Structure 1
Amino acid sequence: MPPIRDKFIIHSKAVVCQDVDLKGDITIGPGTVVHPKAIIYAIGGPIVIGSNNIIEEGATIVNRRKEVMRIGDENLFEIGSRVESPSVGDQNTVSTKARVHHTVRIGSHCSIGPKCFINTSEDIKLDDFTVLYGPNWEERLWSGRGQKQAEDLSTKHVEYLKEWLPKFNRLRRGEMP
């Protein structure tokens, strides 16, 4: 297997801390915030991260497949979470220490609870508005009630981090698309 060639495209309006561990072909969109100590590895194929996502400390995103891993907009990957999903829609939350296997595709407006470990040998897709919780990944559907408030909170969270993270951390720069 040939060595992984590093190529980072970081939008000028993204905030990516210097001590983020990046490997492979990675594109980070505008407004996305990547905290220190996050890990993003494009081992098999490229990773394309959309706009206004938050990737917190210790969160790990890995693409082991040859296909492009696409992460939509306004997602939150909390502390210690690990996502190997080949696709992630928009406005999802992967909670603290949750794990998502590479056979699981995530729709939009989904929430994966703390310490929820989704591991299956068959390819599955989480439908939009799915809420998973507990060690056995029990499932519910969210009605979407309060969606506008959740979007507003996410927007404020991103703006706050874009203002404060650069004050205490050195930033990584990449090519602007």
Structure 2
Amino acid sequence: MSDMSAKNKLKIYPKSVICDDESVLIGDVTISSGCLIHPHATIHAKSGPIIVGENCLIEEYVTIVHDTGTVDLDNSGPTLVIGSNNVFEVGCTVEAAAIGERNVFECKSYVSNLVTVSNNCVIGAGCQLVDEHHLPENTVIYGKRSEQRETIEKQKSLSMQLDHLRKLLPNYHHIKKPTFDPKKPREIA
């Protein structure tokens, strides 16, 4: 079951699919339209709000933490905005200070809160970024030593994968209902 204490401000836009089975959403978290969150994922807005952009895919055992080093019980600190069309693969841990659009965080990768990720970047499976770093657009991090290179390829569209999962996951998991409709001035009861 999800962790939903009085301090949590969860805002779920319509057309999102969030598996309620043991997913943990803590703090001021906004899930934009079209996102898909698998079971056992954790999103923790520790130092301020987190806004997950449209059509992001967050797989099993992913941990996304907004941690600037200070705990903000009111979640009124700086906002971590995660851009649209990002993929967080199984078991990755992401604490990045900023995340642009169309990035892929592969299985078991780790990105510390000293890192900013621009657009169209790939952090390879098992790679770790722990030192202060800004990843320019089209960067690929790969290999045992987390080496860096540039790619000329754009990330492939997620639309077919997201459409398939939107149909499949509700057959096997309880799904959180939307709590916010941007067309209405107040939240859904």
TM-score by length of 2: 0.85
Query: What does 1:88-103 correspond to in 2, within 5 Å?
Result: 88-103=99-114
Whole-Å Cα distance in 1 between the matches of residues 144 and 58 of structure 2? 23
Q: State the partner residue of 1:51.
A: 54
Q: CA RMSD in A?
A: 1.5
Give TM-score, length-normalised by structure 1.
0.91
Alignment partner for residue 78 of structure 1, among 89, 92, 99? Answer: 89
* Superposition deviation, residue 173 in structure 1: 2.4
Q: 1:158 corresponds to which residue?
A: 162
Aligned residues: 168
- Look up the SS of the partner of 1:18 in the other structure: coil
Out of 145, 152, 158, which is 1:136 matched to?
145
Q: Which amino acid aligns with 2:50?
A: I
Tell me if the contact between 2:108 and 2:126 (Cα under 8 Å) persists in the aligned partners.
yes
One-letter code aligned to 2:139: T
Q: 1:67, CA displacement in angstroms? A: 1.5
Runs of 4+ in 1 over 4 A off after TM superposition: none
Which of 26, 29, 35 pairs up with 2:29? Answer: 26
- Cα separation, 2, equivalents of 1:143 and 1:12: 34
Contact 1:84–1:101 (CA<8 Å) still a contact in 2?
A: yes
**Which ranges in structure 1 are unaligned for 5 or more consecutive residues?**
none
Match of 1:17 among 16, 19, 28: 19
| Unaligned stretches of 5+ residues in structure 2 | 69-76, 183-189
Aligned pairs (5 A) from 1:100-111:
100-111=111-122
Among residues 57, 60, 79, which one is paired with 1:68 in the alignment? 79
Instruction: Report which stretch shifted further, 165-174 or 44-53.
Output: 165-174
Greater helix percent: which structure? 1
